[in-house]
Structure 1
Amino acid sequence: MERIGLTVKSRSETGKCPAGRLRRAGRVPAVLYGKEMKVSLPLSLDNKELEKILHTAAGGNVLVDLNVEGENKTHTAMFKDIMRHPLKGTIQHVDLVEILMNKKIVVEIPVHVIGKAAGIAFGGIIQQEARTIKIECLPAEIPASVDADVTPLGVGQALHVRDIKLPEGVRVIDELSMTLVSVVAPTMEVAPKTGEEVQAELAKSFEVKEEDKGKEGKEEEKGKGKEKK
């Protein structure tokens, strides 16, 4: 698992206005939480450095060594929540959680589909059912991702959680029967009907109804004839 150092600043002011000033100055308000911490720690992070960290292969699962200016202590943490602006996409706020390297944690890692399924040669289509799986392990053993090899899959076959290989010390939390990837048969697309085809069907339907009415009329006449006798 990738581990990156980041110098951060503590902040005494909290609230909407101070947070806005930080963002305009190119910094992101953040809060560090932890079971071993008596109180949460308000911080500010450099926005550019933060974006670089989040775009590494580990993504949100990267281990960050937070070096707080003015303190001699380093906090090892992971991202718990990243709030972005709904329109601009810029980071508005970050929650981090302090972790202990000797205690297991639960995280989600991405599933990468590799290989070419055998069923593709027969018209099959790859359908990824799950893009992440939940695992438990020590922080230093978190894999960046897990590979789902679809090479042997034919049409109608699937790859489940129980079929993937994980490094030693990593345990899957999700159900072993959960489907990750499947190869499905192609669906037949029905071409839209032309105006002439619709009119022909309506005319045919009208003819059938008229024919049914004629039969009903003849049966009624026969019934009346029997009553007269």
Structure 2
Amino acid sequence: MKTYQLSAEPRTDLGKKAAKALRAENKIPVVLNGGEIVELPYTAALKPGEKIVEIGRGRGLVTTDLAVSNEDVRKLIYTPDIYAIELDINGEKRNAVLREIQFHPVKDSILHIDLLEVNDKKPVVVEVPVQLEGHAEGVKAGGKLNLSMKKIKVKAPYTAIPERVVINIDNLGLGKTLQIGDLHFEGLELMNAKNAVVCAVQLTRAARGAQAKA
């Protein structure tokens, strides 16, 4: 994946009122998840913006509340590409991927962003764009190619996740489908249902007519 540099500042003033004030400054509330799992009660000092979220069985997860500039994240969000994010939090470097974005239901402005902290050992699930290559046999026979899944979910350490998955469709015949279960990519675990259709060559009227004549 490409790397995206993003500056963030710790956020200690929480709640709806504080979030609204932050957005008025053209900033976006962010939560960085996936931090260290600790035993409770936790008595060590927390960094600015950090808090402990209880996850059960006497354990807690360290998350970090942040704020980022609206302008700084536009190229990260409004793009078909996926990125590994290198966060700069007051000079401290943290690696993350985009987990979820909450948009305003009417204005379509960004209300909140969830990031997931990553490292080169722990696998993460990411949606990766699909790129088809080749010329399907079914299209040559008069069929129409239909891409049903523009992205597929893959699981791997973030350093092993490609910018896109490339699928060759040369052998895809007329009326045939290509499903998740038909695919394999070295080092990636595909997380979609095996019978999910990625693409298909649909019969057209012209193709049906040609088949009938044949």
TM-score, length basis structure 2: 0.74
Partner of 2:63: 40
CA-based RMSD: 2.3
Q: 1:121 to 1:58 in 2, by over 3 A?
A: closer
* Alignment equivalent of 2:141, drawn from 116, 122, 137: 122
Structure-to-structure mapping, 1:198-217, within 5 angstroms: none
Structure 2 partner of 1:51: 74
Match of 2:187 in 1: 169
- 8 Å contact 2:35–2:63 — kept in the other structure? no
Residue 201 of structure 2: aligned partner: 183
Choose from 78, 97, 100 the match for 1:81: 100
- Report the Cα distance in structure 2 between the residues aligned to 1:151 and 1:88, rounded to whole angstroms: 43
Provide the residue aligned with 2:121 in structure 1.
Answer: 102
Q: Structure 2 unaligned runs (5+)?
A: 38-51, 53-61, 207-214
Identity %: 29
Cα distance between partner residues in 2 of 1:64 and 1:5: 6
**Cα distance in 2 for residues equivalent to 1:140 and 1:86:** 34
Whether the aligned pair in 2 keeps the contact of 1:148 and 1:159 (CA below 8 Å) is no
| 2:92 is aligned with 1:66 | no
Q: Which has the higher contact order (CA 8 A, sep 6+)?
A: 2
Q: 1:209: which partner in 2? A: none
Q: Find the counterpart in structure 2 of residue 111 from structure 1.
A: 130
User: How far is 1:28 from its partner?
Assistant: 0.6
Query: Shift in Å at residue 35 of structure 1?
Result: 3.9
Q: Does the Cα contact within 8 Å between 1:122 and 1:155 map onto a contact in 2?
A: yes
Distance 1:173 1:143, change over 3 A: same
Q: Distance in 1 between matches of 2:103 and 2:134?
A: 34
More strand per residue = 2
Q: Which has the higher helix share?
A: 1
CA distance in structure 2 between the aligned counterparts of 1:155 and 1:48, rounded to whole angstroms: 46
| 8 Å Cα contact 2:179/2:198 also seen in 1 | yes
1-structure distance, mates of 2:176, 2:184:
18
Alpha carbons of structure 1 residues 57 and 2: separation in structure 2 relative to 1, 3 Å: farther
* Count of aligned positions: 183
Alignment of 1:147-162 (within 5 A): 147-162=166-181
The code of the aligned residue for 1:144 comes to E
Q: Quick one: structure 1 residues 52 and 129, their matched pair in 2 at CA, closer, same or farther if it must change by over 3 Å? A: closer
